[in-house]
Each structure stands twice: as structure tokens, then as C-alpha cells.
Structure 1
Amino acid sequence: MTRSIFYSLSLHIKEQAVHQKKLFSSVIWQFLFLLFPIIGFAQEEKYKLTLAEAIQFAKTQNKSVQATQIEESAVAADRKDVYKAALPVINTGTSYQRFSGLTLFTDGLSNSRTEQRKPSSNSANLGIDVLFNIYSGGKQKALQEEQNSRLKLATLNSLDTSGNIAFQTASQYLDLVKLYELKKFILDQLKRSQARLSNINSLYKNQKVTKSDLLRAQVTLSNVELSLQQTQNDISIANEKLDILMNIPDSVIISPIDSAGITKPEIKSLLPFVEGIERSSFGVQKTAENVELQRARVKAVRSNNLPSLSFYSAYGLNYPNYLFFPPVDQAYSIGFVGLKLQYNISSIYQNKDKLVAAKLRVKELETEHEAHSDNIRAEIKSYYIKYGEALNRISVNEEAVEQAKVNYGIVNSRYLNQLSLLTDLLDADNLYQESRLNLVKAQTDALTIYYHILYTSGNL
């Protein structure tokens, strides 16, 4: 019992240290965002942020993460309460009574007389009692083990939520990067469309092209302008979603520092995450802890079949003295110590089915744990394969961009020299635009898969 109390105190000290560390980190980040309007918003409502900084801020400031941390603290308080239940139960109390006259009846209720209560009309007591559980079939220990499992589950849930929010933040940040890249490409395409329209106007005035080419160039320019407006709206929407994940005001505009072309980890560096998935995955750890929680409940149910032994003591001051007969008009004090042994005979038949049900639930949770482990293992292997595929796609798209760029230059030169049709030029322009977008998509998809692997393996 003493060892359990010291263990509880040591865990309490560790929890306080972790809480202080989280609080310090939170204060630092809040200070930076409070300071930022002074140093950044004075000129422009934009805040430049790297992917790693966005993830770190969301993991500490997101409301869902904060909610799970509050629940973790609540479960920790419940755990302390369970450990304190092993301490002695001490009660104290006092009472005073003033009795009325004593009415005595004879011959039914026809004759009565009234006398004073003996030895006095007053009665009072003041006392204290102590009850200490020595042995209860292991129920107290089982409750402590159950609460330890609950605290581990709350901690894992907090870490899992933090990792999930980090993954969502990374995905949203990469979507924002993709949209900014798209905006840059559309602006380039807009310049090409404007230059192309100007050239076609000159050719049309010199009667070298038809009216159809001029109209088509104008329609193409209008479509590019609409695409630019749509992309700008998408950037605003994505920025607002990122603000919510990071729990910052909607007025803050996040400007990504990292681009889609940042260095991607080699696929071999991810192999330890795949191989250690059953030990590090938060989901697998939670299902495993659920099994331990149910096993502790089995112990608690089994303890109902065992006897309990308690030490109890009391001491009090009483008036009048009823220990003698007739009662004496005097105050007295007395105390005792003793042991109380109890055994619930009915538990032999009442507890049988409860124990069977508790054991079956252990088997159920063990099966769920194995199934979840299999699913997680298959999931992360598929992401590992897809990551290798994404890296290959980046290489292919890099070559495609160079080829499309050269092709556009050739077709544009041929069109200006009246050696090709406008359709060919527009197709070459769209191919160049599409190849650049495909490259950015391949790069951001690879990073998204990478962060998905980190989250699934419990390393985000």
C-alpha cells in the first residue's frame, strides 16, 4: 500500500512537470501571435509560417487538442481519488436530544400518566470513528489498475488527437501551398494569354489571321482571368480552415514559406516507421490498453467472491450513562478497537455470470486488438508503397515540365510564323500549364503521404 502511494506521488510530480512544459510552450506561442500585430500587421496582414511551425502551433493551440488535455487532467484527478480511497475513513459527529415527558397508558388508552424520562430529559454524544480496509479480495488494487489504464488511454487519446490535428494542419498547409503555386502558374498563363492576344491583334490587323483566332484568344484570356479569381477564393477558404486548425483569428493570413519542392525524405528512412507500427501506433496502443482495462475489471469482479477484512475503532463522550441499569445521570467516555471479517455467501451464485461476461469481454477486446493491428499494418504498408510511387511520379513530371516548356516555345514560334494553328498553340499552352500543376500535385501528394505515415505510426 505504501509503495502504491509513493508511486502515485511520483507520477503526480511528473504530470506537473509535463503540464508546466506545455503551459510554457503555449505562452511562448501566444506571445508571438500577440506581438505579431505590432511587427507584422503594421504593413500587411500576412504571417509567414513554415510547415513545421504551423504543425507545432496547431498541436498546442487547437481546441480539440486542448479538450483532450483537459480530459487527461480530469482522469488524472480521478486516479488520485482512487488511490486516496485506500487511506483510512475517519468520521466525527455530535448530537443533542431534549426529550418530552413520558406518557404511560394503562387499560388500553383510557388511563394515562406522565413522568420524566430517567435519568434525564437530555441526551448528547460526541465521538470519532476510524475504518481502515486491510484486505478486500484485491478490489482496491484492481480499481487502481483500472484507473491507471484509464489515465494511459486518456494520454494516448490526447497524443492521438494532437497527431491527427498535426496531420490535418500539414494537409491544409500543403493544399495552401498548392493553391499559391497554382496562382503563380495562372499569373504566368495570364501574361502569355495577354501577350498572345496582343500578337494576334497585330496579325489580325495585317489580315494574317482570321476573326475566329482573335475571338478564341479573347475567350481564352477571359477563362484564365476567371481561373485566377476562383483560385484566389480557394486560397481564402483554405486559409480560413488553417486558421481554425491553429486556433487563430480569421483575419490572420498565412503565407507559406515552404514550397512544394522542399526536400522529400528517402523512402528507406520510413522503413523503421513501418516495422515498428505495432509498438508506436496510438490506435494499436489504445486497443491494447483497453484489454488491460478489462482485465482489471475482471479482477474487481473476482474480488467479490473473496472475504474482506477491516480494522475499525471508535472513541466517544456520551450522556447519560446507559451502560448500567438503571441508567445513571452522568457523562462517560469509552472507546474500542477491533477487526471485522465479512464474506458475502450469495456472491457464490450471484457473481458467477458477471465473471464469465467480464472474461468474454477480455477475449472480445483481444480480438479487436489483433484486428486493428492487422489493419494498421496493412494501411501503413500501402502508404509506404504509395510514397515510393509518388517519388517516381515527381521525377516523371519534372521531365514532363521541361518537355512541355520546350514544346510550347516551338509551337508559339511556329504560330507567329504562320506555320501552325491557334488550336495547336492553345493545346501546347494547356499542356505546359497542366504539366506544371501535375508536378506540384505530385510533390504535395508525396508530402501528404509522408505525414500520413508519421501520424499512423504515432510519430507525428
Structure 2
Amino acid sequence: MTRSAPYPLFFNIKRRFYFILTQCFSLVFPVAGFSQDNLTEKYNLSLEEVIRFAKKQNNSVQAARYEEQAALEDQKDIDKAALPNVQVGSSYQRFSNLTLFTDGLSHSDSGARKPSSNSANLGIEATFNIYSGGKQRSLQKEQHTRLKLAQINTMDLSGNTAFYTASQYLELIRLNELQKFISDQLKRAQIRLENIQSLYKNQKVTKSDVLRAQVIVSNVELSLQQNQNDIAIANQKLVVAMNLPDSITIIPTDSAGVEKPEVESLSSLIEKAENSAFIVQKSGENIELQRTRLKTLQSDTMPSLSFYSSYGLNYPNYLFFPPVDQAYSIGFVGLKLHYDISSLYKSKDRITAAKLRVKELELIQQDHRNSVRSEIKAYYIKYNEALNRIFVNEKSVEQAKLNYKIVNTKYLNQLSLLTDLLDADHLYQESRLNLVSAQTEALRIYYHILYTSGNL
């Protein structure tokens, strides 16, 4: 009797689950096409689409949203605590015979309990807090602050996820561009090898040139394979951030050469960052939370006044003596004043500690402001530097390309050495890579500024 039958069924169910998930994903984003190769789907997505999807589907962001919803429910619960407390209760007792002892325990007599062996009551009670030193309002405000903290935390995690996703997407762009550059370099190396072999047959170059050209081709092929692996790793990190199956491959539709925001457009973000940054907002809410706790402690030293009422049906009637075998109903309304004198000396140290913690959190918030201001100004300077680097590298690519053509022509005419040609090829390849790196780095810094300023 074999037990291997359920496993194919399990994998079929798993495969159908991934298929349904990818079909739902295709309804959200346009798909240029996909290839069914080992359950691999390829999706063409822009940077904004990837960020938008990651902010919705990332596990950390979803967990933060659940916490936010829980905080909202806690707030509703605290608000309902201000409503009157109403209780309904009833009881019934059946008493045994009453035994009376005389002369110690020597003699005893027993008889039925007067006026009846049965006892019962049914009643309703209501209590409403009129004044308690502002404690109820403090508790409501404290929970409202907790809700705001949960909301800011959700935005912070969402922004952090967006920044991480953007960084991985930009890295994927850089690697894809590098893949093109290496492929071009491989073509140049192969053509160069054919030319050198032709020159060698005509005895115009030495065998060392042929061997060196062959080594260059092999090295470029290895670089191409390594870059393909790096692309697979970057794609894996990206789909994990987006909470997608590993079988999905993201094809960037944006290029490194997309238009970059002007430096002047970031001035308003830089100026407001020390107030709008997520870490500063959270520290501000922590201060407000501690101040509310201080008010709650201070309310314990105040008297409390409440309204209470009760109405009930009772049996038998013990209001008269002797008790009467009858049922009766009665109710009352009243005010209850309570003041705990011991709170004057018991709460003193707790209140002092709460005041000190408020000052501590105010200093922490100021430190966060200073850190954000310093960090975002540094990135502002780096962003301007990145834009300048793009401008310089664009010229460098043109110059390096022209230089390679000149040196290649010279080498074919035996007017330069192979070393000069390889140096020119390396310079051209490096200048192209530097340009793409500068372009993607500028965008990465831009998104870092957005996140740091609390606008991502």
C-alpha cells in the first residue's frame, strides 16, 4: 500500500495557486508577454508600478495595517468606557433547617427558617462616571495617540518598502544595461580576435596577441555569465519585496536615462524634512503619549464623582421585623463621592518620573530633527553631484567611443599596440558603465530624499 499518491495532488494544487495569483497580478499591471518555462512568467513593469504594488502587498506593510486596525478597535473600546455601566443580576437560595444549640453543643433544636426556606432576588444596577479628574479623557487621548503612532508606523514601513523596492529595481536596470554593454564588448572582442588571427596568418602580429585576444574573449564570457546570475539575484530580491512567487521575472520598462527631477524642485522637501520625517513624527507622538500618561497619573490624585442607581425585586421581605413572607420591589438613585487621600503621597514619585520622561523624549526628538536635517542636506548635495556626474559621463562616453574607433583603426594598420587597443576598449566600457551607475545612483538618492522627508 503506497502513500505517494497525495504528493502529485499537492503539487498540482500549489501550481494552480501560483497560476491564480499570477493571473490576478496580470489584472493589476499590463503584461507584454510571458513564457511558460518551469512556471516562469515575465512581466513588464515600470518603477512606479513596482513601488505601488510593493506598498500594497509587502508582508511588513500588511502587518502594520493590521496593527493600525487593531489600534482603531482599541480606541472604540476606550470611547465606549465613558458610557454608563449597566448590570443585571439574580439569585436564588434554598436554605436548610435552622439548628440551634444550647449548653454548648449538648442540646440542639431544629426548625424551618423564618419566614421561608426560599430566598430570591432580581435587580438592575447602573453607574455613570461624572468626574474623575479627567482620567477618562486622558485614556481616550492616549489611545488616540497610539492610533496615530500606528498610522505613522504604517506609512514609515510603506515608505521604507518603497525605497528598498526602488533600489532593487534600479539595480536591476543597471545590471540589464550592463548585460547589453558586456554583450557589445563580447562582439567587439570576437571581431577583434578574428582580425588578430587574420593578421597573425599574414605574419603581421605575434602569437602573443592572438593568445591575449582569446583570453579577453573568455574573460568577457565569464563576466556575461556572472552578470546574468546577478540579474537573477536582484530579481529574486525584488519579487520577495513585492510578496510574489519566485517564478515571476520582472522586466523593467524604465531605463536609467529617464528624466531626473531638478535640484530646485527638492528645496521644499529639504526645508520641511525635519518636521515631516517619519522618525520625527513618531517621536512627537511619543512625547504626546507620555504627556497624556502624566495627566492620567495626576488624575489619580483628584476626587471622583459618579451617579449610581439600582432597582430590584426581592423575596422574602427583610425590611420589616420580624421578616414577612412576601415579595417586594424597591429602587434608589444617588451620588457617590470617592477620594483616595493616600494618592497624595503614593503618586508623587510616579508623577515626577513621568515629567522627567517627557523632557527625555523632547531631547530625543530634537536629536532626531538634527539627524534628519544633517542627513537630508547631505543627500541633497550628493544628488546635485550625481546630476553633474551624469553630464560629465555623457561626454566621456562620446569621447571614449571615438577614441576606441581611432585606436582600433590604428591597430589594424599596425600603428598601435594591442595593449593600446585593449585599454581603449576598457575605457569605453567603463565610461558607459559609469554613466548608467551615475544615472541609477541619482534616482536612488532622489527616492532616499523622498523617504527621509516622509514623502514616499
| Band the TM-score falls in, shorter-chain normalisation | over 0.9
State the partner residue of 1:341: 337
Could you tell me how far apart the structure 2 residues matched to 1:165 and 1:85 are? 37
Q: What is the deviation of 1:45?
A: 2.6
State the partner residue of 1:18: none
Identity between Structure 1 and Structure 2 (%): 69
Find 2:228's aligned residue among 229, 232, 236: 232
State the partner residue of 2:34: 41
Q: 1:88 to 1:284 in 2, by over 3 A?
A: same
Tell whether 2:436 aligns with 1:443: no
Letter in 1 for 2:92: Y
Deviations 1:433-456, CA, capped at 9 Å, x for gaps: 111001100111100000000111
SS at match of 2:122: strand
Find 2:399's aligned residue among 400, 403, 412: 403
Task: Name structure 1 gaps, 5 residues minimum.
Answer: 1-27
Q: What is the deviation of 1:30?
A: 8.0
SS at match of 1:418: coil
Could you tell me how far apart the structure 2 residues matched to 1:84 and 1:250 are? 47
Q: 1:269 to 1:458 in 2, by over 3 A?
A: same
Deviations 1:175-212, CA, capped at 9 Å, x for gaps: 00000000000000010011011111111112211111
Q: 1:207 to 1:38 in 2, by over 3 A?
A: closer
SS at match of 1:309: strand
Tell whether 2:244 aligns with 1:251: no
Find 1:95's aligned residue among 87, 91, 95: 91
Find 1:293's aligned residue among 271, 289, 293: 289
State the partner residue of 1:118: 114
Could you tell me how far apart the structure 1 residues matched to 2:165 and 2:401 are? 33
Cα RMSD, aligned residues only: 1.7
Letter in 2 for 1:41: F
Q: 1:174 to 1:36 in 2, by over 3 A?
A: closer
Could you tell me how far apart the structure 1 residues matched to 2:117 and 2:83 are? 40
Letter in 2 for 1:311: F
Find 1:278's aligned residue among 274, 277, 281: 274
Deviations 1:122-177, CA, capped at 9 Å, x for gaps: 11111110000000000000011111111111110001111111111111100000
TM-score (norm. length: structure 2)? 0.92
Could you tell me how far apart the structure 2 residues matched to 1:30 and 1:108 are? 90
Tell whether 2:427 aligns with 1:431: yes
SS at match of 1:381: helix
SS at match of 1:95: strand
State the partner residue of 2:183: 187
Is the contact between residue 301 and residue 355 of structure 1 (CA under 8 Å) also seen in structure 2? yes
Is the contact between residue 287 and residue 358 of structure 2 (CA under 8 Å) also seen in structure 1? yes
SS at match of 1:318: strand
Could you tell me how far apart the structure 1 residues matched to 2:401 and 2:247 are? 38
Could you tell me how far apart the structure 2 residues matched to 1:306 and 1:362 are? 22
Could you tell me how far apart the structure 2 residues matched to 1:396 and 1:35 are? 39
Q: What is the deviation of 1:34?
A: 5.4
State the partner residue of 1:392: 388
Q: What is the deviation of 1:101?
A: 1.3
State the partner residue of 2:415: 419
Find 1:457's aligned residue among 441, 453, 456: 453
Tell whether 2:73 aligns with 1:73: no
SS at match of 2:300: helix
State the partner residue of 2:146: 150
Q: 1:357 to 1:38 in 2, by over 3 A?
A: closer
Could you tell me how far apart the structure 2 residues matched to 1:46 and 1:77 are? 41
Tell whether 2:190 aligns with 1:219: no
SS at match of 1:56: helix
Which range moves more in the overlay, 198-207 or 150-159?
Answer: 198-207
Letter in 2 for 1:383: Y
Is the contact between residue 393 and residue 435 of structure 2 (CA under 8 Å) also seen in structure 1? yes
State the partner residue of 2:6: none
SS at match of 2:124: strand
Q: 1:38 to 1:182 in 2, by over 3 A?
A: closer
Q: 1:402 to 1:37 in 2, by over 3 A?
A: closer
Q: 1:36 to 1:368 in 2, by over 3 A?
A: closer
Could you tell me how far apart the structure 2 residues matched to 1:107 and 1:128 are? 45
SS at match of 2:128: strand
Deviations 1:297-325, CA, capped at 9 Å, x for gaps: 11000001100000000111111111111
Letter in 1 for 2:80: K
Could you tell me how far apart the structure 2 residues matched to 1:267 and 1:407 are? 33
Is the contact between residue 179 and residue 234 of structure 1 (CA under 8 Å) also seen in structure 2? yes
Find 1:56's aligned residue among 52, 55, 58: 52
Q: What is the deviation of 1:39?
A: 7.6
Is the contact between residue 100 and residue 108 of structure 2 (CA under 8 Å) also seen in structure 1? yes
Is the contact between residue 29 and residue 57 of structure 1 (CA under 8 Å) also seen in structure 2? no
